[in-house]
Chains A and B, each alone.
Chain A
């Protein structure tokens, strides 16, 4: 196993980091938090991202993409997570696109690559993420399907052009693409405005033809949904760990800079040990996330367990870094004026979306045969 970037991947990372340093400064993120500048900052960032062809980076050339792979997408996800970038990239590229592709479809991928279509994936209901317990119905009507139900915590749910919905027919779960105009999306006021959430209501929405990605009862259904969710989940893990790394770096710098009792607070062993533990948590979660990315990229059998482990470790990491990052910054980190809270909030958001640490440990326990699994769990 080779868990280090190739030279090209390192170059991509360095380029992305350089671009984002000027295209997504903390002042832009603050603008999103304070809504002082409307959505201008985020729009400008998205224009930059599209200008660099990042939405299509991992898409095949036949769909207008750059033909790179899941690992390269992961490189961008890390860099965007690092600066708590707002915008449609996360939901479009790591949720909508994997769902479409896992179904063997190319629906609107060319538009995504061209930067003219955004999307998302609607999985959760009442904050629960197991696709096997989805109550949203899919019922046959003529040559199509009628969807009815309510999805919660949909990233960009009120702004994305297309929503992939997990809904359940009599024969099991399926995947459907619904245009924004067909749903009633209610934005949720949430802690982290860089990852906007919405409740999405489907009131007898009919879908036909290529918008039916995976039919309920299709033998390939479970594996397609599983693959889509795994890719979305591991990318959320990567993004979250990258955010945690920036909390860590900020906290480390603060511990070297801040003096009390005539010396840097980072010279006290109680602080040192916490920072060493934080460093371990970030490296641990990062290594697990990249391993899981590779199992997705190479379609390895270990994927479901690797992803569950990676997301649970990312959750552990987010919990530790949001606690110790804030605690070690002391009062200054508790203020709205300091930028730390952007990454604290992004980290806890990344922990809980697509299932938190405990959810994924429970999933791992099922996959390891330690507890009985529930029917239909993908």
Chain B
């Protein structure tokens, strides 16, 4: 137990920091053409992802042919930390790099890796994740988008009918990693398969869903699938294994998904603490004390999120299990919401003024941005999506604490 990593790890940090300084996209080009959705990769972003891939920094834990350098978990961790510190996203297509490409690498055929995973890793293509449906949100396993195989598994076609919703990035993505029911007679968790569906396939219709803030830059979409036909070879993994794959460990960066969320939280807190003295100085003593208390509370939470993440990571890096990890999504997203709320409260009625903070491209699309009050509303994206905070509590209670299902 100690405050700093080994000197050898810090050497990797220094090496990466130097490389980042020389190769990062310029703030001006980022601000001129920001990513508009998690499926949208502006040209600078494509070139940047490719530079990281070529230099072996994109997914450090992977081998060079997949954009890595066979780095250990601690080295990977410091690279992610430095990226977040520099506020340069590896990609706008977070679900493509974080979930779709690794899943294809883990479960797909060599052709699927070549034609779908590699283009994501080289910044040439973006993917969306077709999971939620109007009738299947938190209860994802009850999804009803249906795929029927016509012909034989080698040369036939899947015919897909159904509807997805809340599909991030579908309005710009090149293909969809689509969860659909292929075994209608199997138990609901065993009847789901994953298909790769190019978004320009006839029968695919995307309707963006403008959000309550930044409505001009929608990330969420409805996706309608009407007799969509894809080759049988577009099945990822085995039939009926989709649910297991969705829950499978994406081991290459396991234990590190919190890094960006926590560093975004830390940055927001830093801004709040920088603004606070001027705002607090104008308050009466009682109001000032209460406002200071709100800021301290979220500062404690922010520090706790960092320490929880580091503690869980340290356990995983040693090959142990880390129950802390199950708390991170819920806790970090709640804290991010609260820091925005406190910012808005401390600012007072001034936080009702909107639109004053342009998108300068340095935040990932799913990170809260804008004024404090805009950030507050935007932050619900992360307390609702990918398992609401309430569902996360159930998961912790059942999977970590071993409480019986209700």
Contact = CB atoms under 8 A, between A and B. Distances in A.
Instruction: Say whether A associates with B.
Output: yes
Interface of A: 1-6, 9, 71, 252, 255-256, 263-264, 266-269, 271-273, 275-277, 279-280, 283-288, 290-291, 293-295, 297-298, 300, 306, 309, 312-313, 361-362, 364-365, 368-371
Nearest to B398: A272
Interface in B1-60: 1-5
Contact of A272 (B276, B300, B331, B397): B397
B1 A71 contact: yes
B406 A267 contact: yes
A2 B397 contact: no
Contact of B295 (A280, A283, A370): A370
Contacts of B400: 279
Given A288-B304, A298-B3, 12 more contacts: A2-B5, A3-B307, A9-B1, A256-B403, A273-B397, A277-B393, A280-B330, A284-B301, A285-B304, A298-B2, A300-B3, A368-B292
Interface string B372-406: 00000000000000000010011011101111111
A4 B296 contact: no
B277 interface: yes
Given A266-B403, A276-B396, A279-B396, A370 B318 contact: no
Contacts of A287: 304, 307-308, 310-311, 324
A4 B304 contact: no
B72 to A, nearest CB: 13
B213 to A, nearest CB: 28
B198 interface: no
Contacts of B85: none
Q: Identify which of A6, A267, A300 gathers the most chain B CB atoms within 10 Å of its CB.
A: A267
Contacts of A264: 403-404
A283 B327 contact: yes
Question: Of residues A277, A287, A290, which shows the largest number of chain B Cβ atoms within 10 Å of its Cβ?
Answer: A287
27 contacts: A1-B2, A1-B4, A3-B1, A5-B1, A255-B403, A256-B403, A266-B403, A266-B404, A269-B406, A271-B403, A272-B394, A272-B397, A276-B401, A277-B393, A279-B327, A279-B396, A284-B304, A291-B307, A294-B2, A295-B3, A298-B3, A313-B300, A368-B296, A368-B299, A370-B277, A370-B296, A371-B292
A76 to B, nearest CB: 14
A1 B5 contact: yes
B2 A2 contact: yes
Nearest to B74: A2
A294 B2 CA distance: 6
A368 B403 contact: no
A313 B5 CA distance: 26
B304 A369 contact: no
A312 B318 CA distance: 30
Contacts of B115: none
B228 interface: no
A364 B1 contact: no
Main secondary structure of the interface of B (DSSP, over half): helix
A365 B292 contact: yes
Nearest to A293: B1
Interface of B: 1-5, 273, 276-277, 280, 288-289, 291-293, 295-297, 299-301, 303-304, 307-308, 310-311, 314-315, 318, 320, 323-324, 327, 330-331, 390, 393-394, 396-398, 400-406
B392 to A, nearest CB: 8
B144 to A, nearest CB: 25
Contacts of B397: 266, 272-273, 275-276
B310 A1 contact: yes
Contacts of A364: 296, 299-300
A313 B304 contact: yes
Contacts of B296: 312, 361, 364-365, 368, 370
A268 B292 contact: no
B82 to A, nearest CB: 15
Nearest to A295: B3
B289 A371 contact: yes
Contacts of A369: 277
Contacts of B403: 252, 255-256, 264, 266-267, 271-272, 275
A276 B327 CA distance: 9
B324 A283 contact: yes
Nearest to A255: B403
A82 to B, nearest CB: 17
The 8 A-B residue pairs with the shortest CB-CB distance, nearest first, are: A4-B314, A287-B307, A272-B397, A370-B292, A3-B311, A276-B393, A365-B292, A266-B403
Contacts of A266: 397, 403-404
A295 B291 CA distance: 27
Contacts of A271: 403
A252 B405 CA distance: 14
B393 A361 contact: no
Contact of B327 (A256, A280, A297): A280
Given A272-B397, A276-B393, A290 B300 contact: no
Nearest to A269: B406
A297 B299 CA distance: 23
Contact of A361 (B293, B390, B394, B398): B293
A267 B405 contact: yes
A370 B269 CA distance: 13
A267 to B, nearest CB: 4
B1 A4 contact: yes
A371 to B, nearest CB: 5
A312 B314 contact: no
A288 B300 contact: yes
